Every structure is written in structure tokens, then in C-alpha cells.
Amino acid sequence: MTIRTMHNIDYDKLLEESFNTEKTLSGNDLNRLEYLSRHIFNFVTYSGDIDVILAQRALYLCDIISNGKGIDHTKTEMEQTWLIIMLNTPFFINHIDWGTSIFSSWWLNNINYESDGLFLDGKQISGVMNFNVHEWKKFLAALDRFAKK
């Protein structure tokens, strides 16, 4: 198995290139949130509308974890339910720890991540990408910026 250590990467450029490549390859008029849902968070829905909802919720949870806010700050029971559901999806459950309470999750110090939808300098990034927590948070911040364009 090849493991690529992720450092000194322009994640904004990576995401733009990857999004444009996926749109070209699929011949699909994919929007940014659909791209993130399918190719970054790896959700399978067969519905662009559901992709958008899941990507929005995943990005929100990334922000909560990255900024150490904890889930207990949420205002409604439904919001807590959604966040706990999201925490239990493969993207999150494989990259977090929570000690004694899932409500105060944090990112692991060493994260191995795979995606079939990332391209850099015209080449697909295949295999496992390894991030330290600092690089992971930079990647997640780029996801948020990308989604807001």
C-alpha cells in the first residue's frame, strides 16, 4: 500500500482542480456541495439534494471538531441527533477520538484518508493520504472555503 504524506499542499488549488476534473470526467453538472458529499465525505445517495444536505452537515461538524466547540453547544435535540449520526459515518468515526464522551470529539493526531476524487497536477491521487492533525485542519478549512465559493 502506498501512503502519501500530505504537507506543503495548496489545498485550495487541489480542490478546484479535483472538482473541475470530476465534472469533466463524469460529464455531470455537479455543484460544489455534491462534489464534497460524493468525493470527499464519500456519501452515496444518488440524490443531488441529499448530497447537499449531507455535505452541509459534514462541513458544520468539521468546524465544530476543528475548533474544539463540542457538540453540547448545539441548541436543539434534532441538531444533536444529526451531529451524532454524522459522527458515526466512516469519514468521521475513522478520524476522531472522544475519550469519555462523544460530545467532545477531537481529530486524531495522525489521519489516514482515501478519496477517489482528488487530482493534483493532472494526476489522480490514489492510495492512502496521511495527514498530521495540523495539515488535516488546513485541508478541512480549504473544504469550507471551497464550499462557500
Residues 53-68: pLDDT tens digits? 999 999 999 999 999 8
pLDDT of residue 2: 62
pLDDT of residue 72: 67
| Secondary structure of the chain as H, E, C letters | CCEEECCCCCHHHHHHHHHHHHHHHHCCCCCHHHHHHHHHCCCCCCCHHHHHHHHHHHHHHHHHHHCCCCHHHCCCHHHHHHHHHHHCCHHHHCCEECCCCHHHCEECCEEEECCCCCEECCEECCCEEEEEHHHHHHHHHHHHHHHHC
Spans in the chain with pLDDT lower than 50: none
pLDDT of residue 73: 59
pLDDT of residue 3: 66
pLDDT of residue 28: 80
Say whether pTM exceeds 0.85. Answer: yes
pLDDT of residue 41: 98
